[in-house]
Chain A
């Protein structure tokens, strides 16, 4: 068999792209959203299938802060946080007294409601409908200490000044939230939250208000998700309703499960691996089609984008078979659930 095709492929380019995407803005957004989801599901046992709704709330809160209420960037970020908190209250107050599945149903619907409302013509005067918010980036760019025209970074990790600013802010946020989650989960607060995940009634019988702690966890994870939205908005310099489609939530879940549920680091590692893998497959596929290694009768370049999700799906299925606890998870803990 002829293996010369191996040399026709620009491996250097593919690896560079994969490494860069592993730490670029998309990976940051997914990591932040998954950190929030980890607080929800990994620690508090809350089934949130609408994390993208929190992401949208953060992005729109910040964007509207500048364009609609014309505040300064700090206040705009605060509005983004408030949006996420309000969303958490709307979802949590009526459902957290009920069984866990009710939250799941409500979240998946509420996230879609947020997106559809944002793009509706009725809200057009505020959210600008499907066009989205495009004029909020100015005040943030003024804060940028890096020269926009210059390039920053080393090796494959090179960004323009504006983008580099977002990357730095994003990774700083990841660091801060990891620290926050780590500290909380080793504190008595974290013990109560984990106890509620294990058995809500036992926690209540020992004097802990399950409802109140679940609400706190929902808000915390939601606000972290909101920050994911803010980073996304800064990176794209725009907030558009159709960024926030339901499948995004399931990618956040994928990232979380990949890393291992209920471990501090796992969302970040999951996100890095996810984006490296996706980029690798995409670039390899494209080159193979371009070089004629895969005939266009089988697949063309646009189809590569869909195939990459097949491969990720298959990889996840294999992970579930051979390492169901994820990369960082504990097999011992998984086994306890079987009892």
Chain B
């Protein structure tokens, strides 16, 4: 069951009841720029955590480091009780941490269903020698295909089943990537800007799918720079700016957080009226 986090202190680095991911003293530098500078962060299991921040805050770099695609200069990460420093991304995926990409990576010259089947773990036919003898992997292949078809149907992508993934629209590719990641039976799904470049109609259905992940007991972390998206869907919001975690809390507390507003608009903004108006409209929409 999703945990109620409302009683937690709203300070950066606050301890969670049952963290699935714990980050300590993580630094990542590119030349003189410190892209990631996180002292302590815990991600709660079984809820949707949003990682937000203005452009250039280091969200994607942080994400890459967490998922093994980039190596931190220092610091350590614990996933599900195991230290995962220097663990390769493919190994992380096998252990249950799967990610998507900001620029979707559909495998363009493979059919949609083949994209799906790729995600399945423990495939006997992925071994070179066993691949040579079809009876070894044929039955498993069928059951994987059924799972793939079921997921495609759930994401309303079944009509595209046999099309090349390269012929999908941007939004469909996001859906494909998300459903494909579920083929790995993940415990933690990391979505890098799942709503970027998606039209409003599809955005809603994507949000619904993210909620469904939580209902299945999967922990979700997603990166987003648009605060509106975050409000309706996340249980907890982590705000990054200039590489550091500057705020944490339930979504409704974040929009009023002074640090966050400063980070988004600059500390010396002279137009508080516009800002207030903007925020009111935002929260107003959410209440509808």
Binding site for B on A (CB under 8 A): 180, 183-184, 187-192, 194-195, 197-199, 201-210, 216, 220, 332-333, 336-337, 339
Contact = CB atoms under 8 A, between A and B. Distances in A.
B107 A188 contact: no
Nearest to B137: A188
A189 B140 CA distance: 13
Contact of A336 (B89, B93, B126, B167): B167
Interface in B97-115: 98-101, 105-110, 114-115
Interface of B: 67, 69, 88-91, 93-94, 98-101, 105-110, 114-115, 117-119, 121, 123-128, 131-132, 134, 137, 141, 164, 166-167, 180-181, 183-184
B126 A189 contact: yes
B172 to A, nearest CB: 12
B113 to A, nearest CB: 11
28 contacts: A183-B134, A184-B128, A187-B125, A187-B132, A188-B125, A188-B141, A189-B126, A191-B126, A195-B118, A199-B107, A201-B89, A202-B107, A203-B118, A205-B67, A205-B90, A205-B101, A205-B105, A205-B181, A206-B93, A206-B180, A206-B184, A207-B94, A208-B90, A208-B118, A336-B109, A336-B164, A337-B108, A337-B109
Given A202-B107, A216-B128, 9 more contacts: A184-B132, A189-B131, A197-B109, A199-B107, A204-B93, A207-B90, A208-B118, A220-B128, A336-B109
Contacts of B93: 204-207
Nearest to B125: A188
Nearest to A220: B128
Nearest to A208: B90
Contacts of B125: 187-189
B128 to A, nearest CB: 6
A191 B118 contact: yes
A190 B131 contact: yes
A192 B108 contact: no
Contacts of A207: 90-91, 93-94, 98, 119, 121, 184
A198 B110 CA distance: 8
Nearest to B124: A188
Contacts of A339: 108, 166
Contacts of B183: 206
Contacts of A205: 67, 69, 89-90, 93, 98-101, 105, 181
Contact of B118 (A184, A187, A206, A209): A206
Nearest to A210: B90
A135 B284 CA distance: 89
Contacts of B109: 194, 197-198, 333, 336-337
Nearest to A189: B131
A180 B119 contact: no
Nearest to B109: A333
A183 B131 contact: yes
Contacts of A206: 90, 93, 98, 118-119, 180-181, 183-184
A202 B105 contact: yes
B71 to A, nearest CB: 13
A333 B105 CA distance: 16
Contacts of B114: 191
A192 B94 CA distance: 15
Interface centre among A198, A210, A216 (most CB of B within 10 A): A198
Contacts of B123: 188
Nearest to A184: B131
Contacts of A209: 88, 90-91
Interface centre among B69, B90, B119, B125 (most CB of A within 10 A): B90
A197 B107 CA distance: 9
Contacts of B128: 184, 189, 216, 220
B4 to A, nearest CB: 32
A92 to B, nearest CB: 15
Nearest to A198: B107
Contacts of B117: 188, 191
A206 B123 CA distance: 12
A216 B127 CA distance: 10
